[in-house]
């Protein structure tokens, strides 16, 4: 298992941080017990009595604190279930992972685990001799106060997380990070174009295939590792997938061509080790999936059961901001070369127009009867165009026409038609295109 796959497994494991805190608490119990046995008898007379407690008092204290910490843990788990139910019914099932992988959520439960294990083991280690004062009860009280503070933080965190505007803002921030990371400078060569003659020279004869050994979504791709693998075996790899694609077991994942002097034995497993395949899509490298979360919140908001078009418009505005950021850095990178500038990997890129379509087409299907939503989409497209000029205007205008044509303008009231026409006219003017609609 490669490092990134191990990281995803650990990150998405709800037990990891609580288990880590529990292990740390065992170490802390050993240290405090050592202090009680070897250090406390020497310093007991020189420190205030408030730091020490008799074993009979400690036993009562431990029992009360264990019960209290368990109560806070139970309430916290109940709160988690409420949040998850709210996310599923009102937002999107895909947003569950945002709350579950939140470090605040996992650290709080980790602190509870620490406090419970710390108090429980100290209770078990109590002896029957009451003559000696103990430092561990005082430390347990400190740990309990920390647990209480974390409980308050968790309630505040959960109440903010369940607010749709905060959730939308967090998804937008996380997606911005994914965009920046995806198109940052790399240690290897990547290019939009390559000498076609070189590509033809490589692709001589029938290609061999590398097939998938498991089914699932492509969650991540280690391009640098694939380039090293291809260089080692003197291959040209051509991918049969895009980020976020669902891969069936046994399907061709790579086609490859090998030149003379290459290693005859190509290890399929070695190549597939650089692909991260899992049961669900994640936002590690998948920009489209990150935007899809906002799309699903918007679609859910305009459904008859919720009927909240302003939340949908909020999502549309954030999607427009993300598409604007993406337009600044997006390049349809198709070719990847090793450190010797030798072409090694070809991957079909996602075009910018694909991101526009995936961002708004579902909103168009379910919101075409709501002018608030349609005007919001046109305004987002207008802002993308006015920021980037000729670079992406053709793609934006093509999709803008798709939105405009979806609205049945013949059924609109004059006031509704006028607002829709004004928004469509703004988009047409900034794209320097002719609008098919006529003014009143």
pLDDT one-digit tens code per residue, 10-54: 666 667 888 888 889 899 888 888 877 787 777 766 767 666 677
* pLDDT at residue 440 in the model: 66
List of the chain residues with pLDDT < 50: 1, 131
- Cβ neighbour number for residue 152 with a 10 Å cutoff: 11
* pLDDT at residue 11 in the model: 61
Q: pLDDT per residue over 319-334, tens digit each?
A: 999 999 999 999 899 9
* pLDDT at residue 8 in the model: 60
* pLDDT at residue 10 in the model: 66
Q: The pTM is what?
A: 0.79
* pLDDT at residue 184 in the model: 87
* pLDDT at residue 288 in the model: 92
């Amino acid at each position: 298992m490669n490092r990134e796959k191990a990281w995803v497994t650990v990150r998405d494991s709800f037990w990891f941080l609580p288990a880590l805190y529990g292990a740390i608490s065992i170490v802390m119990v050993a240290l405090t017990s050592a202090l009680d046995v070897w250090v406390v008898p020497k310093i007991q007379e020189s420190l205030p009595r408030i730091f020490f407690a008799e074993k009979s008092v400690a036993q009562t204290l431990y029992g009360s604190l264990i019960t209290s910490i368990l109560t806070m843990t139970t309430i916290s788990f109940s709160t988690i279930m409420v949040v998850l139910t709210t996310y599923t019914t009102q937002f999107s099932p895909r947003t569950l992972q945002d709350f579950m992988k939140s470090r605040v959520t996992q650290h709080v439960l980790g602190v509870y685990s620490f406090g419970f294990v710390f108090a429980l083991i100290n209770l078990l280690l109590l002896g029957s001799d009451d003559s000696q004062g103990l430092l561990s009860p005082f430390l347990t009280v400190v740990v309990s106060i920390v647990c209480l503070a974390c409980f308050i933080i968790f309630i505040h965190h959960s109440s903010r997380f369940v607010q749709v505007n905060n959730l939308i803002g967090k998804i937008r921030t996380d997606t911005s990070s994914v965009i920046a990371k995806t198109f940052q400078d790399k240690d290897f060569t990547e290019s939009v174009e390559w000498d076609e003659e070189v590509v033809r020279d490589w692709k001589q004869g029938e290609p061999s295939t590398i097939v998938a050994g498991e089914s699932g979504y492509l969650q991540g791709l280690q391009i640098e590792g694939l380039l090293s693998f291809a260089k080692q075996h003197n291959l040209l790899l051509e991918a049969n997938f895009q980020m976020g694609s669902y891969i069936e077991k046994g399907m061709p994942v790579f086609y490859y061509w090998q030149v003379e002097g290459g290693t005859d034995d190509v290890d399929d497993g070695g190549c597939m080790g650089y692909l991260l395949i899992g049961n669900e899509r994640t936002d590690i490298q998948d920009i489209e999936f990150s935007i899809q979360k906002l799309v699903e919140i918007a679609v859910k908001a305009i459904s008859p059961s919720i009927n909240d078009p302003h939340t949908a418009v909020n999502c549309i505005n954030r999607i427009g901001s993300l598409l604007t950021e993406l337009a600044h850095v997006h390049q349809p990178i198709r070719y990847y070369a090793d450190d010797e500038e030798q072409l090694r990997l070809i991957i079909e890129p996602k075009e910018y127009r694909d991101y526009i379509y995936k961002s708004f087409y579902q909103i168009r299907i379910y919101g075409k009867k709501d002018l608030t939503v349609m005007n919001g989409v046109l305004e987002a497209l207008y802002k993308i165009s006015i920021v980037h000029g000729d670079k992406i205007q053709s793609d934006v205008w093509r999709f803008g026409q798709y939105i405009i044509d979806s609205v049945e303008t013949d059924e609109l009231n004059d006031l509704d038609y006028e607002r829709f026409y004004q928004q469509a006219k703004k988009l047409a003017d900034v794209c320097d295109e002719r609008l098919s609609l006529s003014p009143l």
